[in-house]
Amino acid sequence: MASPLPPCTAVIYSALAIVALLLLSATAVNASQGDKEPVYQDCVTQCVRTNCTGARLRGFQSTQAPYMALTGWTCRDDCRYQCMWQTVGLYQAEGYSIPQFHGKWPFARFLCFEEPASALASLLNGLACLLMLLRYRSSVPRQSPMYYTITAFSLVSLNAWFWSTVFHTRDTYLTEKMDYFCASAVILYSIYLCSFPCLRSVSISRFPYHTILYPLLPLSPHSASLHHLLFPVPPTGIVNLLWWLCWCWQNRRTLPYWWKCGVVVVLLHGLALLELLDFPPLFWVLDAHAVWHLSTVPVHFLFYSFLIDDSLHLLNTEKTGVKLE
């Protein structure tokens, strides 16, 4: 007779089943109100026809700032940017609410940065992650059982914040996919990171790790929008939330630092609700997504404080030969 599953594992099995069902119902959103407007489409068509061929195109390329050319801004992109603001002006003049364009709010471009506040916030998160990785490596001996696993997790996180910065600097097909893929990788690695203590009494062959890879399926060439790409992330995040909270609950009486993990998990998932506000950017720069990214910067310090405490605890436990419950 098979041994019963630990409480954490039973909860996660149920959550994974819900994730699979939600993924089956995912649908793509191809356009936004602003870019569907005839006035916007006509403006772009006329601008491209007038400015993006022949001598005018060569003139555009010769006067374009080097940093704009290096980040891939084309004459057509510039037409879309200018026409976006013309359409926004018409909406405001008629008293209508601000529309989105191509799945995003209109943002005032700064230098080559398409979404300046979100790009800055992503950069700050990456710097905080790098700083705490260096502190972790200076505080935890290499002999700690989780030293290399957490180092790898940090590198995965740094890669995600790098691509988040790139994506918010310049939104292209490639940067959109890389932003999604790398963000998903952080969530999946977080589940993997937590799986060791929760599954130590379960055979690895009994856990469906392939199930948590389903969020990567929308990376096919047929996925059309960021909304479609990001749809699987919240349910996978729920799995991550439940698993870590189970770990905190099971260790609340034995590990004095468990609360750090609990606070981090609740904060990260609670702050993600800021995305639901989805308001037009203040001063055409600061939107809910940027606020969310800015709010997560301090969380890195508490999270790595927990990782340092836990790694040192595991090292001391291994040295004394104490068996963890």
pLDDT digits (tens, 9 = 90+) for 65-89: 898 888 888 889 899 999 998 999 9
Cα Rg of the chain, angstroms: 23
Q: Is 302 exposed, middle or buried (0-12, 13-18, 19+ CB in 10 A)?
A: middle
Closest CA to 261 of 197, 165, 180, 167: 197
The reported pTM is 0.77
Residues in the chain, pLDDT under 70: 1-31, 194-237, 321-325
Asked whether the beta carbons of 281 and 107 are under 8 A apart, the reply is yes
pLDDT digits (tens, 9 = 90+) for 254-290: 889 889 988 988 888 888 888 778 888 889 898 888 9
- Distance (Å, rounded) from C-alpha 315 to C-alpha 319? 6
pLDDT digits (tens, 9 = 90+) for 28-61: 444 678 788 888 888 999 999 988 888 888 888 8
- Distance (Å, rounded) from C-alpha 223 to C-alpha 28? 7
DSSP annotation of 144 reads S
Q: What is the pLDDT of residue 317?
A: 80
Mean pLDDT computed over every residue of the chain: 78
Q: What is the pLDDT of residue 235?
A: 61
Tokens linked to 293: 């990214």
Find the helix or strand (DSSP H, E) in which 259 lies. helix 258-271
Please tell us whether the domain made up of 7-31+110-320 is placed in CATH 1.20.1070. yes
Helix axes 147-169, 173-198, angle to 10 degrees: 160
Segments of the chain assigned to CATH 1.20.1070: 7-31+110-320
**Residue type, position 80, single letter:** R
